[in-house]
Structures are given as C-alpha cells and as structure tokens.
C-alpha cells in the first residue's frame, strides 16, 4: 500500500498523565517577532495517545500526527526520548 505522505513529528515535555491512555505534551517553539526582531518563546499543548500508559510527568517524548482518536486527540506518542527518575 502506498504511503500518503510524511507525518509531522514534534518533541516536547509531558505535563500531565492523569487521563487513561492520554498525555498532555507541551511543545516549545522560538519564533521571531517581525516588528521587534526579538525571539519569543511560544508554548503549545497537545493531547497525545499513550497506548501503554508508559509516560510520566517530565519525560521528553516525540509525538507524531495520526488520525483523530477522539475530539481533541490527533497525536500519538512515537517514543520516549528521555525518562525522568
């Protein structure tokens, strides 16, 4: 079967894992302000599917886009890059 295209991948920190099979991941981006030529940190939160409930708060994870799993979940945890102790 032919693949439709590349999936988006983002890396961020897990903020919450209190929901069943769901984690909240915060992504930090540096964007440049067009008028002031100053870099600004932009934070975005995504809900991602964690099938095995392995992620803990503070873990650095990579998430990838997927088909919609629920109303707000359109991302899935690909792998855990760095575990917290």
Q: What is the pLDDT of residues 14-49, one digit of tens each?
A: 999 999 999 999 999 999 999 999 999 999 999 999
Q: Does some domain include residue 64?
A: yes
User: What average pLDDT does the structure give for the chain?
Assistant: 95
Domain that holds residue 44: 9-82
In a domain, 13, yes or no: yes
Across the range 9-14, mean pLDDT stands at: 97
How far apart CA 57 and CA 11 sit, in angstroms, is 14
What total number of domains does the chain contain? 1
Q: What is the pLDDT of residue 6?
A: 86
% residues pLDDT > 90 (the chain): 89
Assigned domain for 3 exists: no
Left (φ > 0), alpha (ψ -120 to 50) or beta: where does 58 sit? left
Instruction: Tell me what pLDDT residue 11 has.
Output: 97
The whole-number pLDDT of residue 1 equals 63
Q: How far apart are CA 30 and CA 47, in angstroms?
A: 21
18 lies in some domain: yes
């Amino acid at each position: 079967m032919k693949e439709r295209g590349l999936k988006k991948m983002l890396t961020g920190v897990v903020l919450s894992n209190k929901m069943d099979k769901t984690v909240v991941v915060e992504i930090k981006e540096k964007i440049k302000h067009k008028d002031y030529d100053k870099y600004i940190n932009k934070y975005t939160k995504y809900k991602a599917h964690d099938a095995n409930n392995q992620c803990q708060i503070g873990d650095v994870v990579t998430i990838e886009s997927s088909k919609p799993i629920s109303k707000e979940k359109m991302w899935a945890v690909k792998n855990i890059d760095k575990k917290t102790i």
